[in-house]
Amino acid sequence: MRDRASEIFRKIEEIKKQEGITYPITVIGASKMVDADTINLLPSLGINTVGENKVQELLEKYDKVFGLQWHFIGALQTNKVKYIIDKVTLIHSLDRPSLADEIDKQARKIGKKMDVLVEVNTGREPTKSGVFPEDAYSFMHYVSSKPNLNLRGVMGVFPVGADETLYKELRKISDFAKENYGADILSAGMSNDYETAIKHGSNMVRIGSALFGKRNYN
């Protein structure tokens, strides 16, 4: 895993140099199906944030993982928010008003202002969560009106082999979020496309198999 992490950081530095990028890029270890012992190695590799897709998996690992920030990066059901609200520092997958209402409600209960990203479905794929690009602007306004939500930026998951115009579209939404709400996070790019995403403004990448190796989903 050390070699894989080194290669990821090498590629990131290379693309930063090529594109003249001076801001830091945060690498999140996307830890679906990865055991706690392996996750605990991340700080020694220079990775301080772990991202989980499923609430149940996060809860199973939470007390066994040390010295890392937890992000929630998967589709989130409203009835599961209460289980993670005190455990994660950023929710990437805010995609509907009912979820915004519930996160706001649960955050208020514990006196927390929850950092969130609006998830944008750039490919307009019916099987994926996320607001369509044309709806992102009004939804960001809605999110920003919630007293216990702190809009930090946007997140995108791109179709496999996505045209670069989709990355540009997400960048445009991200720029709007930054100008209007001071929301400076663009979470985009996974194992197969993080270099392209960084080229188009991503400052947070969610890396799974390129970091942890192939996982058994059976």
The pTM assigned to this predicted structure is 0.96
Give Cα separations from 182 to 52, 147, 178 (angstroms). Answer: 26, 16, 4
CATH superfamily, with its number, for domain 2-212:
Alanine racemase (3.20.20.10)
159-to-71, 78, 136, 193, 200 alpha-carbon distances in Å: 22, 25, 18, 10, 16
User: Taken in order 131, 192, 51, 63, is the CA torsion positive or negative?
Assistant: positive
Backbone angles phi, psi at 153, to 5 degrees: 155, -155
Bridge partners of 204? 26, 187
Reported confidence tier of residue 67, pLDDT bands at 50, 70, 90: very high
How do residues 99-140 score in pLDDT, each as one tens digit? 999 999 999 999 999 999 999 999 999 889 999 999 999 999
* Distance between first and last Cα of the chain: 22
Banded model confidence at residue 150, pLDDT cuts 50, 70, 90: very high
Instruction: Say if CB 179 and CB 154 are below 8 A apart.
Output: no
Tokens describing residue 171 = 């960048």
In the chain, where the domains are located? 2-212
Check whether 218 has a pLDDT greater than 70. no
d(Cα 146, Cα 181) in Å, to the nearest integer?
A: 13
Q: Does residue 202 surpass a pLDDT of 80? A: yes
Q: Give the tens place of pLDDT for each residue, 12-57.
A: 999 999 999 999 999 999 999 999 999 999 999 999 999 999 999 9
pLDDT of residue 217: 61
From start to end of the chain, where are the E strands? 26-30, 49-52, 69-72, 90-94, 114-120, 149-156, 185-188, 204-207
Q: Residue 200: is its pLDDT beyond 70?
A: yes
- Give the pLDDT score at 214: 87
86 φ, ψ (degrees, to nearest 5) = -95, 0
Check pLDDT > 80 for residue 215: no
The reported pLDDT for the residue numbered 69 is: 98
State the average pLDDT for the chain. Answer: 96
Q: Which pLDDT score, from 0 to 100, does residue 204 have?
A: 98
